[in-house]
Amino acid sequence: MPLTKRRAFWGTGGPISCSLPLTSTDFPSEPTSDIDMFSTISESEDDENQVKITQTSKKTPETDAEKLTCQTYPQYIKSLNDHTVATMARTEIPAHMLPRDYIEGLSCAFLKKLCYQLCLVCWQVTKRTQCPKPLQLEFACAVHKKQDVFMNVGTGFGKTLAMILLLLLADGSFIVIIISPLKRLQASQADALREKYGLCAVIVNEDSPKDDAYWKTHAYDFRLKRLGSADVFISMPEQFFVAKEGYPTIFSKFVCKSVFNQRIGLIAIDEAHFVHLYGLEHYGIHPFRPAYGDLGVSRIFLVQTFPGLL
């Protein structure tokens, strides 16, 4: 009997995230397809160039793998069997960085493979400088299993990586929305996602372009039925609702469209203590950021387009 697609809000704590999980089809447990890990080089009539080409074609698999983009390397990783993925991770990633004890302690074989896949793709995308920590992997596994998550960690731990870790392996099959409170924080997060992980991150606030071409390029072109280029939308909470002028924001219109919101794989609320501090009324004082207090209402209009939303 096929698995039923079920989406639910998750939380990561104090800074906190809220997510919509993925289905098991996004991470097949069996090999899907084989890809050629080596670039083919056309022959040259020039003898000198021929020598250079011959030398280039003799590069090691590791060097060639480094040239793969984030869109092709996940396909290769997901095509490997459990034993090969585990061996590859233990070989390529230094022992002091690979959370092997946590991974081997998992009782589910599929989750073990998933964690090794996430470690490998993160290691590759960050040019062999970063590997997920046990808590980041635990977060990813919980989201994959459609469980509620509350992550309460300090500044600098790596909450952003936890939010987009599954995205690195998804090969463009879904998008992530991060709700962020400050424009400066939005900018720093977008820069980090581009520079560290090669993701296309789009900032959404009142200063975002209003022209159709921008949103068709990054979000969705309804006329051509073409997906946008963005992997991550970093949005202010106010952009989920009605603008100050009294009309729905452009981003809220996209979120309500099924062709767009069915691609949402995760919604994360960063710095979620803002929900209590600035989103709710205190001692009769009107909330400073009421949109944070209304985020629960957003679940209602998402229910209309997300069957089974909790």
Domain boundaries, the chain: 38-145, 174-310
Which comes out higher in pLDDT, residue 301 or 80?
80
For residue 90, what pLDDT band results from cuts at 50, 70 and 90?
A: very high
Q: What is the pLDDT of residue 288?
A: 86
- Res 79 pLDDT > 50: yes
- What number is the average pLDDT over the span 277-300? 83
CB 278 within 8 A of CB 287: yes
Q: Please, which pLDDT band fits residue 301 given cuts at 50, 70 and 90?
A: low
How far apart, in Å, are the Cα atoms of 188 and each of 1, 48, 192, 193?
Answer: 44, 47, 6, 9
pLDDT-wise least confident of 194-208, 228-242, 269-283: 269-283
pLDDT at 83 (0 to 100): 96
Question: Which tokens belong to 259?
Answer: 């062709």
Point out the least confidently predicted range of 2-6, 132-136, 204-208: 2-6
Q: Identify the sign of the CA torsion 210, 224, 169, 262.
A: positive
Mean pLDDT of 23-42: 36
Q: What integer is the mean pLDDT of 48-56? A: 36
Q: What's residue 50's pLDDT?
A: 40
C-beta separation of 178 from 266 below 8 A: no
- Sequence-distant (6+) residues with CB within 8 A of 219 are 202, 228, 230, 233, 251, 254, 260
**Assigned architecture for domain 174-310:** 3-Layer(aba) Sandwich (3.40)
Higher pLDDT, 88 or 56: 88
pLDDT digits (tens, 9 = 90+) for 181-193: 999 999 999 999 9
Q: How far is it, in rounded angstroms, from Cα 70 to Cα 73?
A: 6
Element (DSSP H or E) covering residue 223: none
Residue 279: phi and psi, rounded to 5, are -100, -10
Looking at the chain, the whole-number percentage of residues with pLDDT higher than 70 is 73
Residue 80 and residue 31 in contact, taking contact as beta carbons nearer than 8 Å: yes
In tens, the pLDDT along 101-146 reads 999 999 999 999 999 999 999 999 999 999 999 999 999 998 888 7
